[in-house]
Structure formats: structure tokens, C-alpha cells
Amino acid sequence: MHKFINKLVGKQHLSHQEIILSSATALIAIALVTWISNQFLSHSGAAYIVASMGASTVLLFAVPSSPMNRPWALLVSHIVSASIGVSCALYIPSQLIAIPLAVAGALLAMQYLRCLHPPGGATAMLIVLAPEVHLLGYQFVLTPVALNAVILLLAVRVLNFLLQLQQEKDKYESPTAWLEQQQTSISFKPPFETEDLQSALNGLDTFIDVKQEQLYQLYSLANHHHQQRRLGDLRCSDLMISNPVAAEYGTSLEEAWQWLGQYHISAIPVINRAQHVIGILTLDDFIEHARNFPQKILEDRIESLIRTTTELHTEKPEVVGQIMTHPVISAPDSSKVAELLPLLDSKKIHHMPIINEQQKLVGVLSRKQINMLLQGHTNSAAQ
């Protein structure tokens, strides 16, 4: 049943813990809103306002990243819509006329003030129907409408704080799982600048309910989908460099450096005696550790780094295991190359060790090879 629901409604991006936490926070927030509304209105009158606040609660806690849920949109939409609703209720005797005018006026004001928040329209309409509107007048706007909106805003801030704490905890306790959850983050710079995107958005005579960051992410995902479609079912075993040069923890830096030049490579997997991957040594690792040496020229610094020390004691790195990057992300040889693209890009992985069923190193997948293959497909399609 769970799989059927996922297939029907799409992939769920929130964890069960996040869903429960957001729902619990929403419960407390709407309970407080209900209590405050009953302090200023009768039980029946409070129901009108709680209804629109309930709609805001669903939006705020289900899709918090939407531009419609920003503080400006939340607060101003309810305040302006409430003011319009009170005005229509006070000065237009017929509810048949007051209700559509209140909703239309709220929509007009929200669009011009750039505070579009759908429950604002409900606030305008329901205030016209509220029994106490003629008694309270414009005080209705502040108490309970504005006060309720502030409570919802504070509740969302508390939820965001709690979720950030949980993410930091997950990152510390399970870094591998945390990395996997971040695979769909923006992984590369699009071929245009922020100003270009903003200019394009300004040129569209329409409202787009999306942030710039989300547009960048959309571009990234579309690009990955384009690449994945071209790669098809290609496996790591089909594209990887088989039987790669590998070093052990105790391999000298001088020997490893010679391998880079001899085999024209820029990364060397590091394995233990069981041939299990324990790290990876890249050209960047040499450059990073060479910065600690006083020579002005990089080549001289690297020469000082890799030169074997003849003294009994030294603080300089001497072997591969002292400067390698670890832990390292690897993939089974049966993995589809297309499925690894988001991870390769988001973590800026240029060389990924490939392992077999026994967790032993069998190859290296190079991002450069993938790019060359994709470029070859593009050229073939153009011809």
C-alpha cells in the first residue's frame, strides 16, 4: 500500500521524522491561534478566522520554501485582506456584493504589494461573514487577525530551527547518509549569471511562484536528466578504468608522485592489504600539503614534500596515507553511471573508486571520461 501511494503521488522528500515534527508544531500553533481567537470573538466568530489561518498553516508547514510563505507574504496578505474585508462588511450592506468585492480587492492588493498568499482571500471573505465585524470594526484587523499571523510566523521559525538542529545531528552521526540526502543540491554553475536570470524573470509578464535558487536547481536537475537519458543503462563496469594503479597506506609520496606522471593520471586509489578502498590520493592533495613549504615556486614546494627524509624523526608527511583524502565515496561496478551523476557533481568528485561484490577495488570512474562520452553523443546528434 505504501509503495502504491508513493507511485500515485510521487516521491516523498521529507523524512518521517520531519513530517511528524512539522505536524506537531502546526498542532501547537493552530491550537494557540484558536485560543486567542476565542478571547476576542465568540465561538462561532472565531471559527471564521481560524478557518483561513488553518489554510495558512497547511501551506506554511507543508511547503515552507514557497515564496507565498515568506514573512512579508504571510503578514501583509492577512492584514491587507482583513482591512479590505472589514471595509466591505461595514460599507456594503449586501453580503452578495460585499463578499466578491472583498475577495477581488484582496487579490488585487496582494498582487500589487507582492504578498500573494492564497488564504488571504479566505480571510477577506470570512471577515464579511463574521458576526462581530460590525462590533469590532477595524480592531478586527489587529486582534485577532494580525496577532494570529504573527503566531504562525513564529511557529515556522521555531520549526526551521528544530529542523536545522536535526540536520546537524544527522550530519555528525551519519555522514554517509547525510551526503546521500544532499545529492540533488545545486552542483555546478549554470551558463548564465544571477543578473541574467533576474532580467529574464522581470521580462515575463506573469507571476512565477519559485525562488531563484529553485530555478537554478531546476536547471541542474534538467541537465542531469539530459545526461542520464544519453547514458542510458551504461554501467560502471562498462566505462571505468579497469585494474587501476593503486597505492597502499605506506607507499612513499615520491613513488606515488612518479606514478601520476608515468601513467598520466591525476588520482590514485589507496587500498589496504585486502584490496579494500581506504582513501584516494589526488593531485590536489599534493598541492594542498605543498603549501606548507617556504619555496615560492609550486614545483619546488612539491619537490620538498615528496623528497624522502633521511632523518629518524620528521614532521613532514612521508607516505600516501598521511595526505590522502578519506573517507572516500565508492560505488559498485554494477551501478548505473547515470544514477551516480548527481552525487559526482554535488560533491565535485572527479575520480570515484569502483568496487566489486567483495568490496575490492576493480576500477576507477572518471568524470572526464563521462564528459567525453556525453560530448561525443552531442556531436553525433548535431551531425
DSSP output for 190-241 = -SS-HHHHHHHHHHSSS-----HHHHHHHHHHHHHHHHHHHHTT-BHHHHSE
Q: Is the pLDDT of residue 2 over 70?
A: no
Residue 207 has pLDDT above 90, yes or no: no
**All domains of the chain, ordered by start, with CATH?**
2-162 (no CATH), 236-309+316-382 (3.10.580.10)
pLDDT at 205 (0 to 100): 65
Query: What integer pLDDT is reported at residue 371 of this predicted model?
Result: 86
Q: Which three cell numbers stand for residue 289?
A: 600539503
CA atoms of 124 and 89, how far apart (whole Å): 10
Residue 187 has pLDDT above 60, yes or no: no
Compare 332 and 180 and report the one with higher pLDDT.
332
- 240-295 residue pLDDT tens: 999 999 999 999 999 999 999 999 899 999 999 999 999 999 999 999 999 888 88
Given a cut of 90, whether residue 346 has pLDDT beyond it is no
β-strand pairing of 247-248 with 241-242: unpaired
Least confident of 135-139, 171-175, 351-355: 171-175
Query: Given this model, what pLDDT does residue 14 score?
Result: 62
Please check whether residue 338 is in contact with residue 235, taking contact to mean a CB–CB distance below 8 angstroms: no
Residues 131-159, mean pLDDT to the nearest whole number: 93
Give the model confidence (pLDDT) of 212-249 as tens digits: 777 777 777 787 788 888 888 899 999 999 999 999 99
| Residue 267, phi then psi, degrees to nearest 5 | -155, 145
Q: Look at the block and give the residue holding cell 520531519.
A: 18
23-81 pLDDT, tens per residue? Answer: 999 999 999 999 999 999 998 889 988 999 999 999 998 877 677 888 999 999 999 99
| pLDDT at residue 179 greater than cutoff 90 | no
In Å, how far are 236, 286, 352 from 279, measured between CA atoms? 19, 14, 10
> What is the DSSP pairing of strand 267-271 with strand 247-248?
parallel
- Residue 44's pLDDT is what? 86
Omega within 30 of 0 (cis) for the link into 327: yes
Question: 267: phi > 0 → left, psi -120 to 50 → alpha, else beta; which?
Answer: beta
Q: How many residues does the chain have?
A: 383
Distance between CA atoms of residues 254 and 319, nearest Å: 8
Residue 211 banded pLDDT, cuts 50, 70, 90: low
The confidence score (pLDDT) of residue 26 equals 93
**Separation CA 320–CA 270 (nearest Å):** 8
Residue 180's pLDDT is: 43
pLDDT (0 to 100) of residue 339: 87
pLDDT(306) > 50: yes
Q: How many alpha carbons lie under 13 Å from residue 348 in its C-beta half-sphere?
A: 4
